[in-house]
Amino acid sequence: MFSYRHAFHAGNHADVLKHTVLIATLQHLTAKDTALMVFDTHAGAGLYRLDGDYATTSGEAADGVLRLAAATVPLAPALQDYLDMVRAFNAGSALKIYPGSPFIAHRLMRAQDKLKLFELHPTDAKTLAANIAQLDAGRQIAVLREDGFAGVNKLLPPPSRRALLLCDPSYELKEDYARAAALLADALQRFATGTYAVWYPIIPRTEAHALPRRLKTLAAKAGKPWLHAALTVKSGKQAHGLPASGMFLVNPPFTLRPALAAALPQLVELLAQDRNAAFTLETGG
């Protein structure tokens, strides 16, 4: 259950997609003065070394954020915002530190906003707590060593009635696909106006291909708008590495679709590993 470590995958193409969407979403939500609650159900360690043993073993950042950083063409605004965010955590031109979702969210939060981080992995939870402690954020950030699937919905709705919930489990267990769908169904019953973002891998597994269809059905039953963005960088028939991933949002910002319409074609061009690279961008509701 605890074999997955995101440090091996930090800065890969899936992180580029996920964090580009996260930043664009938070930029919109924080434009309104009312306090925002941000939930991260699987927060990981928070910060990662791109020059450390884990990341260099996999080398996945080389085909993700590092390709973007080496681009010689002007980037779409959402991609430039993402790259600027990553660079803000690095003192020099070389990218050695990669911020996970908790630290990206913290950078975009205002004084009135709060962040709830769930992490069950014992090592990552300890590392996350130590990394967050360096921020001296006080009660603005809470690190909860518990199952995010089980723990997050009890906090809905938040006092401010405004929230973004990011659900990005490892899907190490195939049950995670059903649990992600169940989390969204319960969350929409408890707090129908929240913004919900679910990341998922696109791999040769029935549950992976069924998940976006299940999430669309849930959004439709709740009468809520949705957005689905996916990025494929190579054929799924290759033996090694993740070929594609997706982000599914319920109650997405209206600004997100045009931002991704400019960003996704460029991600295909810059991050393609073979001729099967492609993207999906669809909305409904």
Strand partners, 197: 166, 249
Q: Is 25 exposed, middle or buried (0-12, 13-18, 19+ CB in 10 A)?
A: buried
Residues classed as catalytic? 168
Q: Are 27 and 65 in contact (CB under 8 A)?
A: no
Burial string for 119-137 (b: 16+ CB within 10 Å, else e) reads bbbeebbebbbebbeeeee
Q: How far apart are CA 160 and CA 76, in angstroms?
A: 33
Q: Is 43 exposed, middle or buried (0-12, 13-18, 19+ CB in 10 A)?
A: buried
DSSP 158: P
User: Which spans in 34-162 are helix H?
Assistant: 53-58, 65-69, 77-87, 101-108, 122-133, 148-151
Q: What angle do CA 179, 117, 96 make, to 5 degrees?
A: 110
Task: Output the six-digit token pair for 284.
Answer: 């409904």
Half-sphere exposure of 207 (CA within 13 A, CB side): 13
Q: Residue 94: left if φ>0, alpha if ψ -120 to 50, beta else—which one?
A: beta
SS3 113: coil
